[in-house]
């Protein structure tokens, strides 16, 4: 029921927009959002744009796993230090 998918805004007419989900173009209500622009990605849920998708945060999430490896190494080091 909460299923939602990323969609790209390609046209805005007042409170309605045309958005692309992959190759498919559908209508989406923008009533829940302010400041949506053409080219933005939104999360589409039963014909409504729920939230904008942040490109910066998406990139950060993908970068985070590199950081996790660093954290692991650090934890390892601390453990070894404790033992020493």
Contact residues toward another protein (CB under 8 A) are: 1-6, 8, 21-22, 29, 31-34, 41, 43, 45-48, 50-51, 53-55, 57-58, 60-62, 64-65, 68-69, 71-72, 75
Does residue 42 contact residue 53 with C-beta atoms inside 8 Å? yes
The CB-of-84 to another protein minimum distance in angstroms stands at 20
What is the C-alpha radius of gyration for the chain, rounded to an integer number of angstroms? Answer: 20
Burial string for 49-74 (b: 16+ CB within 10 Å, else e) reads beebeeeeeeeeeeeeeeeeeeeeee
The CB-of-32 to another protein minimum distance in angstroms stands at 4
Considering beta carbons, is residue 11 or 74 the nearer one to another protein? 74
């Amino acid at each position: 029921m909460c299923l939602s998918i990323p969609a790209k805004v390609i046209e805005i007419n007042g409170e309605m927009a045309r958005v692309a989900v992959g190759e498919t173009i559908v209508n989406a209500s923008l009533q829940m959002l302010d400041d949506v622009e053409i080219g933005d990605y939104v999360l589409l849920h039963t014909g409504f744009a729920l939230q904008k998708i942040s490109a910066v945060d998406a990139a950060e999430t993908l970068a985070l796993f590199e950081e996790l490896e660093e954290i692991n190494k650090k934890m390892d080091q601390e453990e070894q230090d404790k033992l020493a």
